[in-house]
C-alpha cells in the first residue's frame, strides 16, 4: 500500500510540475485562467446545480459544509467555494494542493490540504453536509484506497448526507497495479457492495459500463 501511495504522490507532483492544468483537464495544453476555471463552473452547473434537491435537502448552500476529494489545481473547488458556505478539499499531491491554494486566495472559507492519499484524517471537524469527487478515483489503481476514502467520507458526513462521486465504470480494461493514470473500474454490483460495506445507501447510479459512472451514496 505505501508504495502505491508514494507513487501516486510522485506521479501527480511530476504531472503538476509539467503542466498541472493539462493533466487535470486534457482538452488543451494551454489553459487561460478564465477558461480553466470556467470548466469548473460548468462541472458544478452540470453535476450540482441540476441536483440541488439531493445535495442540499432543504438547506441553504451558504450554510453547508462540503468536502472534495482530489481537488487538483482547484478547478472545481473554486466553483464549490462560490456556491457553498465552507469547503474543505484534499489532494495527495502537494504541487496540486499548492496550485489549488493559490486559486482559492480570496476565498477564506475554502481550505485545501495535502493528504496521505488514502484517508481524511487531516480534515478538521465532522458533520459535513455533502461530499463530491470527479475524475479522481478513475486514476487510483487500488480498490483498498478507494474503499478507504468511501469509509472516511461516511465517517465525516452527517446522517442522510450525500457523497456524489464518479468512478471508472468501463470494466473491459484492466489497469496495471501501479498505474496512476488508468485506475481500477467498478461494475454496478461492485459499487453497491462498496456502499453497503461503508455505511451508505447507493440510492442512484448512472453510467454503469462507462467512464463516467456516477454514484449517489447517502449516509445511513
Ligand atoms: C485529473 S485530476 C482532477 C482534479 C479535480 N478533481 C478536477 O476535476 O479538476 C486528478 C487529481 O486527483 C489527485 N489524486 C490522485 N490520486 C489521489 C489520491 N489517492 N488521493 C487524493 N488525491 C488523489 C491528483 O493529485 C489530481 O490532482
3-state secondary structure 38-84: HHHHHHHHHHCHHHHHHHHCCCCHHHCEEEEECCCCCHHHHHHHHHC
Q: Which pairing describes strands 157-167 and 213-219: parallel, antiparallel, or unpaired? A: antiparallel
The C-alpha atoms of residue 134 and residue 149 are separated, in whole angstroms, by 13
What pLDDT does 212 receive?
97
Q: What is the pLDDT of residues 190-204, one digit of tens each?
A: 999 999 999 999 999
Ligand 1 pocket mutation, candidates 37, 79, 136, criterion most atoms within 8 A of CB: 136
The C-alpha atoms of residue 13 and residue 168 are separated, in whole angstroms, by 22
Q: What is the pLDDT of residues 122-148, one digit of tens each?
A: 999 999 999 999 999 999 999 999 999
The C-alpha atoms of residue 61 and residue 72 are separated, in whole angstroms, by 23
Q: What is the pLDDT of residues 58-103, one digit of tens each?
A: 999 999 999 999 999 999 999 999 999 999 999 999 999 999 999 9
Residue 44 Cβ contacting ligand 1 at under 6 Å: no
Residue 12 Cβ contacting ligand 1 at under 6 Å: yes
What pLDDT does 177 receive?
80
Cell of 109: 472559507
What pLDDT does 99 receive?
98
Q: What is the pLDDT of residues 10-51, one digit of tens each?
A: 999 999 999 999 999 999 999 999 999 999 999 999 999 999
The C-alpha atoms of residue 129 and residue 64 are separated, in whole angstroms, by 6
Residue 117 Cβ contacting ligand 1 at under 6 Å: yes
For residue 137, give the 3-state DSSP assignment: helix
Q: Nearest CA to 204 among 188, 193, 220?
A: 188
Ligand 1 centroid – CA 71 distance (Å): 6
- Within 10 A of 173 (CB to CB), how many other CB atoms are there? 9
Instruction: Please state whether the predicted TM-score (pTM) of the whole model is above 0.85.
Output: yes
The C-alpha atoms of residue 95 and residue 83 are separated, in whole angstroms, by 25
Residue 9 Cβ contacting ligand 1 at under 6 Å: no
> Is the model's pLDDT at 173 over the cut of 90?
no
> Is the model's pLDDT at 174 over the cut of 80?
no
Mean pLDDT of 144-166: 98
Residue 120 Cβ contacting ligand 1 at under 6 Å: no
What pLDDT does 153 receive?
98
Residue 68 Cβ contacting ligand 1 at under 6 Å: no
Residue 183 Cβ contacting ligand 1 at under 6 Å: no
The confidence band for 175, taking pLDDT boundaries of 50, 70 and 90, is confident
- Assigned CATH for 2-19+61-219: 3.40.50.150
Ligand 1 centroid – CA 127 distance (Å): 23
Amino acid at each position: 500500500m505505501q508504495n502505491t501511495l508514494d507513487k501516486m504522490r510522485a506521479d501527480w507532483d511530476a504531472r503538476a510540475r509539467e503542466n498541472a492544468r493539462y493533466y487535470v483537464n486534457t482538452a488543451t495544453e494551454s489553459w487561460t485562467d478564465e477558461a480553466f476555471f470556467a470548466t469548473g463552473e460548468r462541472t458544478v452547473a452540470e453535476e450540482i446545480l441540476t441536483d440541488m434537491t439531493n445535495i442540499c435537502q432543504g438547506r441553504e448552500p451558504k450554510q453547508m459544509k462540503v468536502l472534495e476529494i482530489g481537488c487538483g489545481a482547484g478547478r472545481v473547488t473554486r466553483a464549490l467555494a462560490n456556491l457553498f458556505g465552507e469547503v474543505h478539499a484534499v489532494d495527495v499531491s502537494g504541487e496540486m494542493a499548492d496550485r489549488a491554494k493559490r486559486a482559492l486566495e480570496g476565498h477564506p472559507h475554502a481550505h485545501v490540504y495535502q493528504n496521505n492519499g488514502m484517508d481524511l484524517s487531516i480534515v478538521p471537524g465532522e458533520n459535513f453536509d455533502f461530499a463530491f469527487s470527479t475524475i479522481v478515483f478513475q486514476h487510483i489503481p487500488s480498490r483498498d484506497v478507494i474503499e478507504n476514502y468511501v469509509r472516511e467520507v461516511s465517517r465525516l458526513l452527517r446522517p442522510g448526507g450525500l457523497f456524489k462521486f464518479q468512478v471508472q465504470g468501463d470494466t473491459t480494461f484492466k489497469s496495471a497495479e501501479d498505474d496512476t493514470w488508468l485506475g481500477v473500474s467498478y461494475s454496478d454490483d461492485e459499487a453497491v457492495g462498496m456502499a453497503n460495506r461503508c455505511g451508505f445507501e447507493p440510492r442512484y447510479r448512472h453510467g454503469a459500463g462507462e467512464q463516467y459512472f456516477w454514484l449517489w451514496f447517502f449516509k445511513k
